[in-house]
Chains A and B, each alone.
Chain A
Amino acid sequence: MYIEFYIYLDMSTNNELFKGTLQTIVLKLLSENERMYGYEITQKVKQITKGELTLKEGALYPALHKLEAEGFLETTTEVVDNRLRKYYSLSRSGNKEMVNKLQEAKDFIAQLQLLLNLKPTI
C-alpha cells in the first residue's frame, strides 16, 4: 500500500495533488519514524520522492498543528544543537487515524485508477 501510494505521488509532479493527502503522509511518516521534527519531515519527503515533491513549511506546519490540536499527535520539546526542538509523535488515536486515512487513500487511488484507467507500474 505504501509503495502504491508513492507510485501515485511519483506519477504526478503537481503539488496540488499533495494537499489532500498531506495529513496522511505526515501520519504515515511518523508511524515509521517514531518521532520527527518539522524540518526532518520536509527532508524525508524530498528524499523518498527523490526531490520530485517539495513539502513547503507553509503547508507542513498547519497540518502538524491541526493534527496536534485534534489529539492525533503528541509533542515534546528538547534542547538539541544549542536550540529548542519540537518533536512530533503519533498518539494512540493518531495511530488509529493513520490506519483509517491510509485505507481512505488506498480506496481513493483504486477509484482513480478505475476512472483514469491507470495501470500500476509495479
Chain B
Amino acid sequence: MNLSKIQLEKIRVYLDEIGFKYIDVQMEILDHVASAVEEKMTEDPNLAFQDAVNQTRTSFGKAGFTKIEKSIVKGLNKKYRKLFLQHFFSFFGIKYIWAIFLSAFGVYQLQNLISNQDSFFAVFSLAFIMFFAIQAYRGFKPLAYKRYMVYKISGTYAGYFGVFLMMVFQAIIKPSTGLLFGLNKGYLIVSVLTVLFAVYYIAALKTEKEGVLESKAIADKLKLLYR
C-alpha cells in the first residue's frame, strides 16, 4: 500500500521536529521511513499508520537518522572538495596559464605605475568595497536554497575568501623589500597573492553554482509534488 500525502507530511513534520531541517536530508530519510512503513502496513493490513511509524522509528533510533545525516554531510563535503580542487587547479593547465601570468604581470605593472604603496592600497581598497557589494548581493540572492545541505556545503569555499584578502592586505601594508629574480619583491608577492585570490574566488563561485544547480533540481521536483 502507498501512504497518502497527509501521512507523508506527518512523517516529514516529525523529522523536522527532531532536528532534520535540511530538505535534501529529509527527502532521503523520508523515503526510507515511508517505504518501511508501507511494507509493514502491507504485511499487516490491520496495523495502524501511527503504530507502523512508531515501529519503524524504534528500529531506526534517533542515532540511525543522525548517522544518515552525517553520512550525507560527509559525502557532500568530499564531493564538493573534489569539485573545488578540480576548478582551482584547472586554471593552472595549458588553457588558462597564460591568463594567470598575464594577470600577475598586470597587477605588477599597476603597482609600478602607481609606484606608491599608499595609492595602490587606496585602489585595492576601492576594489575590495566593490567586491564586498557584489558579495552582499550574492548573499541575498540564493536564500531560496538555504534549507538545502548541498547548497550550504557547496557555498563553504566562497565563505573563506576573507582569509586570502587579509593576506593580500598584509602584503600591501607591510611590503617586502628587495629584489627577487630582478623584480621588486613586494610588488611580486602582492601580484601572486592577488591572482591566487582571484583564482580561488572563481573556483569557489563555480563550486557554489554547482550546488545551486543541484539544489534547484531537487526544488523543481518538490514543486511538482506540491503544485
Contact = CB atoms under 8 A, between A and B. Distances in A.
A84 B75 contact: no
B225 A82 contact: yes
A77 B217 contact: yes
B67 A69 contact: no
A61 B28 contact: yes
A85 B67 CA distance: 19
Contacts of A66: 71, 74-75, 78
A68 interface: yes
A81 B2 contact: yes
Contact of B78 (A38, A40, A69, A86): A69
Contact of A81 (B3, B36, B74): B3
Interface residues of A, number: 27
Interface string A82-115: 1111100000000000000000000000000000
Interface in B47-105: 60, 63-64, 67-68, 70-72, 74-79, 82
Nearest to B12: A83
Given A62-B67, A65-B71, A86-B31, A79 B225 contact: yes
Contact of B68 (A61, A68, A78, A84): A61
A4 interface: no
A13 B68 CA distance: 24
Nearest to A86: B28
A23 to B, nearest CB: 13
Nearest to A63: B71
Interface in B2-38: 2-5, 8, 27-28, 30-32, 34-36, 38
Given A61-B68, A82-B4, A39 B82 contact: no
